[in-house]
Structure 1
Amino acid sequence: MKNKLLIILISLIGSSAHAQNTLLPAGNVGIGISDPTEVLTLRDPRIPYDSSSGTLKIRFDSGSGGGGLGFEKETYNTGGLRFYTQYGYNSMLEKMRITAEGNVGIGTASPTELLMLRNPKIPYDSSSGTLKIRFDSGSGGGGLGFEKETYNTGGLRFYTQYGYNSMLEKMRITAEGNVGIGTISPDATLTVNGNIHTKEVLVDVNVWPDYVFKPNYELKPLSDVKTYIEKHHHLPEMRSEREMIKKGLQLGEVTQLLVKKIEELTLYLISQKEEEDKHNKIHQQEINELKNKISELQNSQANKTSKPISNPTSKPTASSHLSSL
């Protein structure tokens, strides 16, 4: 089926007096050439070709002022590709170019990046260096856009539009690389003025307060901690309420300090438990000694009450007198 279509194509073009059409057994088709090396090779002297520069142009024109299109291989030295459109009887206008290095330019003949877009219809303020690209549905359905900042900043802003309202900035990337969402002045790599919903936050740390459990760590006496709290109204090393409100909460820093205070509190509890155990042991010894003394006193009293007690003042009875006779 494929070969049949190619034969039909060749027969339709075969009316040309200048072309030699070929269909090789390998399946390669040549139009205007007898030894095609590709699946389809087109060669026609009517295709404009400049042998001195190596430029090859293929253009299609309706011939009735309806317009046309075309593409062109660049010179020997560059070897890029250019794409054109034509409206009416006007000359071909270049719309896109692919350089030999692979850079694509739209609206520019000298793209220096992988993709470079330049269009005179894009609003540009030459005095400030601001470049805006916006897309609007035109029916009140909304739009979106982005904008390059001025010469001095060179950042990037992103907008959305709802209905016929003006574009509303949603995100900004500064020239320093800081990203701001909900704010136009991000002061960190990422600054968000609003809520963040996430499943997990990973914070890199360089040190962790397990050094508290090392033997050489000096734990402050609780009396010193009590004095510090009474004077400053917050724990040692922790920032005050005023500083927290002014500068915000550093998640990594505060987490480390909280763990440190928990570990110190654990050491205080262990020390208190050891002290209590020591006192309890002493109290138990005292209790055992008291129990032994009480037991000795009770035994001594019991021994005294168990011996018979004689009464020398008692008078002999009549029966005892008779028995003696």
Structure 2
Amino acid sequence: MKKQILLLVALCLSMYSFSQVISNEAFSLSNSFGDLQMRRYVDGDLVFKRALVPSATLLNINYAGDFTSGVKIHGLKLVVDGNVGIGTANPGALFDIHSTKTYDHWLSRMNTNGNNWSGFWETSDNIRLLLRDTDGNIDVDLRPNGSSFINGGNLGIGITSPTAKLEINDDAATGNGLVIAGGGSGGTLAEFKRDIGATGSSLKIHASSNDPTLTFTNNTTNIFSIGVDGGSYKISDNATLGTNDRFVVNSNGNIGIGVETASSILDVKTINYGSNQEGGINLSSYYNNINRWTTQVGLKSTSGGSPRFAITTKQRDASNVEYANTEAISIPLNSGNVGIGTTTPDSKLTVKGNIHAEEVKVDLSVPGPDYVFNADYDLTSLETLQNYITKNKHLPNIPSAKEMEANGIELGVMNMKLLEKIEELTLYTLEQEEKLKNQMQINSSLNKRLIRLEQLLLNKAETTKKD
């Protein structure tokens, strides 16, 4: 009860002080029907009803008439349970304000110069919470509709001393520290910029249905996006995934580089057909921070020519000047031929240079020359052979030197031709051997006859000498 009386006295003194500020007119106090009434003659009555009655209503303040100077209070009610109501007889909260009127600001605090006022600001379609500094600048403007902002200072959520414009701390680690939700139709959920209003670096978070995307931009043209598109993980140099995709991982595990959909375990697109381009994997060796040796494995394309798979070696000197660029191995995709030291292989394996091997096995495309030893083989006579060599300067069935220089030789065919000549030479040798044996027999017979003849002549000479 003492507290109630003290509150009543305080209210009376405050109203008396307030009346002294706004007017020098006299006032009167009267008691009517058990109520305490203070009357201000010009503007109306201020009535304290049942101020000292311990009923459901502890204190009820109403203006019986108009109060033109100062803030108009439709009604202030203090309830026994501690709730305070303005404009309502049944406040439902600790502090409950009801009003059917629209005010520019209906709960505010203002300094003496009229600049530093803060409070709730109401318009026809919006309610705002404004906090101003001493110069009248708005530091905080919060609106349920329209734009809200906090000007200056750091904002902390879950932390008492934020070190950034916005710092969130969730030590519990059982929930989400920050959740940004948007509609399924897509759009930008959040955007982070280095400079407000500039076209420089930014990071955007997009969400369209089940396809979230992060987009990085360092100016208006250089864009890098990473996210999910149609169930595939993608990296693109376009703000929209599915356009200019550079890296793709499909839901089935296939990986694509330079393609929008990977059709195999590793699907790599390196060049545009018909242009002077090269692409693939570079294996580099550095010395003193200079890329001295590089081996490139990938595809190449020359304008007007078909693409080819190539292994290229490059070398640079100590001044980083390239002095060697050799396409060591080349495989044109339209033929499948393999070239070593040449970019235009005309056979399954074309080598420009020497080959060093312990053994080379060649499958024959022509029959072996055993036919030379057949009984019906027509072996050219030595006289005919001599005449052919004299005229053509090379053996029969063997290309000339000019032909070999111009067209090269086929190793298997040439070996068979050479073997044919060796077998023919064997036949010539055997034929000469047979003739030699016959000649030796004739010579032996003639030698025996010569010996007998010499012996007869010797015997005759001795007989004549005796006579």
TM-score by length of 1: 0.58
CA 1:160–1:286 in 2, change beyond 3 Å: closer, same or farther?
A: closer
Query: What are the within-5 Å matches in structure 2 for residues 47-196 of structure 1?
Result: 74=231, 82-83=232-233, 95-100=247-252, 103-118=254-269, 124=271, 128-129=274-275, 131-133=277-279, 135=282, 139-145=290-296, 146-149=298-301, 153-163=306-316, 164-165=321-322, 168-170=325-327, 171-174=329-332, 175-196=334-355
Once residues 283 and 260 of structure 1 are traced to their aligned partners in structure 2, the CA distance between those partners, rounded to angstroms, is 34
* Contact 2:294 2:315 survives alignment (8 Å): yes
* Contact 1:159 1:168 survives alignment (8 Å): yes
**201-210 or 263-272: bigger deviation:** 201-210
Output the amino acid matched with 2:339. G
Query: What are the within-5 Å matches in structure 2 for residues 277-296 of structure 1?
Result: 277-295=437-455
Q: Give unmatched runs, 5+ long, in structure 2.
A: 1-171, 176-209, 215-225
SS of residue paired to 2:291:
coil
Output the amino acid matched with 1:117. V
* Contact 1:133 1:147 survives alignment (8 Å): yes
Output the amino acid matched with 2:410. Q
Ranked by relative contact order (alpha carbons within 8 Å, sequence separation 6 or more), the top structure is 1
What's the CA shift for 1:303? Answer: 8.1
The equivalent residue for 1:234 is 394
CA-to-partner distance for each residue in 1:148-178, whole Å, 9 max, x for gaps?
3257513233322222427724132112112
- Identify, as 1 or 2, the structure richer in helix: 1
Task: Report how many residues are paired.
Answer: 239
Query: Quick check: which has more Rg, 1 or 2?
Result: 2
Once residues 195 and 240 of structure 1 are traced to their aligned partners in structure 2, the CA distance between those partners, rounded to angstroms, is 23
Once residues 92 and 246 of structure 1 are traced to their aligned partners in structure 2, the CA distance between those partners, rounded to angstroms, is 57
**240-249 or 135-144: bigger deviation:** 135-144
CA 1:282–1:99 in 2, change beyond 3 Å: closer, same or farther?
A: farther
CA-to-partner distance for each residue in 1:32-75, whole Å, 9 max, x for gaps?
xxxxxxxxxxxxxxxxxxxxxxxxx899x9xxxxxxx988994x
2:355 aligned with 1:209:
no
What's the CA shift for 1:186? Answer: 2.0
CA 1:262–1:91 in 2, change beyond 3 Å: closer, same or farther?
A: closer
CA-to-partner distance for each residue in 1:68-91, whole Å, 9 max, x for gaps?
x988994xxxxxxx44679xxx99
CA 1:189–1:247 in 2, change beyond 3 Å: closer, same or farther?
A: same
SS of residue paired to 1:105:
strand
Identity of aligned residues (%): 28
The equivalent residue for 1:42 is none
What's the CA shift for 1:116? Answer: 0.8
The equivalent residue for 1:32 is none
CA 1:113–1:215 in 2, change beyond 3 Å: closer, same or farther?
A: same
- Identify, as 1 or 2, the structure richer in strand: 2
* Contact 2:235 2:248 survives alignment (8 Å): no
What's the CA shift for 1:234? Answer: 1.0
The equivalent residue for 1:261 is 421
CA 1:99–1:203 in 2, change beyond 3 Å: closer, same or farther?
A: farther
SS of residue paired to 2:425:
helix
* Contact 1:130 1:147 survives alignment (8 Å): no
